[in-house]
Amino acid sequence: MTLNSLLNYKFGNNYPALILEAFIINFFVLFLFVFIWGGESNVGAFVFNISNIVTAIFIVPLLETIIFFIVLPYVLYAFDMKAFNICIVCSSAFSFSHSPDVAVFYIFYFLFGWYLSVCSSKFVFSSGSMLRGAFLVFFMHAIWNLIILSTSYFIG
């Protein structure tokens, strides 16, 4: 069974279910990480600055979606890399582009980067709906940044 057929079996074209699943999974995993390791420093103060919220929810996810989940996979596809290898490269690049205070957060960034890479592979490249797929990956990334801010604020 290929990655694409597995994703078709699991999600089909049910975008709301995928977004809800991403929200729930990321919320609980991040909640666990923040609760155990104390979160990233000064995130609570970050929430009160509106321009930082706009940056964290709109600008950063848009740029990272374009760089790590559209442009980089296209370049890797040009070199005939397999989907699994592309997901590893994109997830690693996404993970190491961040600099968390606690090293174990790199694992979380890698896992979320992997999730976005798989969604990018499914909805941006395989289905041929570039705009809808890119918007979906961007939206999940924006929700994830919102969860990071709110969870770190309330716990840390």
Residue 43 pLDDT level (bands cut at 50, 70, 90): very low
Least confidently predicted of 33-42, 87-96, 101-110: 33-42
CA dist., res. 58 & res. 50, Å (int): 12
pLDDT of residue 6: 46
Question: In percent, how much of the chain has pLDDT > 90?
Answer: 0
User: Distance between CA 143 and CA 23 in Å, rounded?
Assistant: 7
**Residue 59, pLDDT score:** 80
Residues 6+ apart with CB under 8 A from 13: 127
pLDDT at 132 over 80: no
pLDDT exceeds 60 at position 82:
yes
